[in-house]
Amino acid sequence: MDSNVRGAMDKDVRRSGVSFTTRPWKRNFLRGSYRWEDIDRTNSAEESTLKKVFTLSLFSRPHRRLDLNIRYKNERIDDPFLLEQWELFGLIQQTSLPNSRESVRVSLNWNPRGNLSLSSTFTYEDSDSDRYNIDEERMEMMFSIWFAPIDKLMITGSYSVIETEMETRSIYKTYHRGGPLDYLFDNSTNYNDKSQSYNLTVNYRFTRNIALVSNLTFNDSHADFDSSVYDSNIGELSDLNIENVDASIGLDYLYKPNISFYTRYNYRDYNDREVNDLDGEVHLMSIGASYTF
């Protein structure tokens, strides 16, 4: 691919790759690929970037009601794209792209019965930036269930959690304390966050045209930023500890195949354990109609 715009950043991209697919044993498929991408730029801080990506995935069905998917991805970036900006004390270069990234994703689906389904997903990602000495780890897990005990009732539930841990080093300089030598020393800057979400949905159909719908969601989020300047923990200003509840219940009425009416009651509660200025509850009532062309 050739990009050439007058007065702008130009780049030429060359991509190549190889892949394979095989079935090592019954009900199992193994896929792999390796591709590389060479990017040449003009009017840019980094004139050339080379990306190398290796992917390996396995799909397995050990049982007729059980599916397993595993994927591994390894990505290497030589000289990632940079942004340059001239400041008072010289040229500043910035980038948010890591030099390396590895990820593993595992998903498992189980259908023990026709009215019951269970699924789970696990993802782990590790990325590093050599230029700015930033290490980041991210983990995600999700569990869900779908259950229909009777024809008119359907229950869906899920739980998910996301955790992030970042380690880097930064230099802090205040205008009213210290001297120019402060620019020569850096401090460890660690950031951790964790977010959990619980969800439950219950739908019951009284008749062919009337259904009860309800939903309950609870979110719990924490974030911690650890860093100090002159023995003062400035990270406390960025700590987060928030709980959020969102619930709703209502009725759906199908008047015609393309016309329906609904009514809802919604309840929302927001609670910030660090700064409670925005804490509060909200009660909402809504009535509406929808028409499908």
Q: For residue 64, what are its two tokens?
A: 């007729």
Question: Considering only CA atoms, which of 77, 50, 59 is closest in space to residue 131?
Answer: 77
Average pLDDT over residues 173-195: 62
* pLDDT for residue 3: 46
User: CB-based contacts of 154: which residues, under 8 Å, 6+ apart?
Assistant: 146, 147, 148, 202, 203, 204
* pLDDT for residue 169: 64
Helix (H, G, I), strand (E, B) or coil at 85: strand
Question: In angstroms, rounded to a whole number, what is the distance separating the alpha carbons of residues 225 and 235?
Answer: 5
Question: Considering only CA atoms, which of 40, 42, 52 is closest in space to residue 78?
Answer: 52
Q: For residue 270, what are its two tokens?
A: 């927001």
Across 88-92, 201-205, 269-273, least confident range: 88-92
Question: In angstroms, rounded to a whole number, what is the distance separating the alpha carbons of residues 208 and 68?
Answer: 37
Q: For residue 227, what are its two tokens?
A: 């860093």
Give Rg (Cα) of the chain: 26
* pLDDT for residue 37: 85
Answer yes or no: are the C-beta atoms of 279 and 272 closer than 8 Å. Answer: yes
* pLDDT for residue 272: 87
Average pLDDT over residues 190-215: 93
Q: Which residue has the tokens 């569990």?
A: 143
- φ, ψ of residue 30 in degrees (nearest 5): -120, 125
Question: Considering only CA atoms, which of 164, 55, 54, 50 is closest in space to residue 97?
Answer: 50
Question: In angstroms, rounded to a whole number, what is the distance separating the alpha carbons of residues 16 and 129?
Answer: 25
pLDDT tens digit sequence for 50-77: 889 999 999 999 888 999 999 999 998 8
Question: Considering only CA atoms, which of 150, 93, 140, 149 is closest in space to residue 120?
Answer: 140
pLDDT tens digit sequence for 126-158: 988 776 667 889 999 999 999 999 999 999 999
Question: In angstroms, rounded to a whole number, what is the distance separating the alpha carbons of residues 56 and 105?
Answer: 11
Answer yes or no: are the C-beta atoms of 35 and 13 closer than 8 Å. Answer: no
Output DSSP code: residue 131.
T
Instruction: Look over the chain and give the mean of its residue pLDDT values, rounded to a whole number.
Output: 83
Question: In angstroms, rounded to a whole number, what is the distance separating the alpha carbons of residues 229 and 186?
Answer: 10
User: pTM for the whole thing?
Assistant: 0.77
* pLDDT for residue 186: 58
The better pLDDT of the pair 274, 218 is held by 218
Helix (H, G, I), strand (E, B) or coil at 124: strand
* pLDDT for residue 19: 94
How many residues would you count in the chain? 293
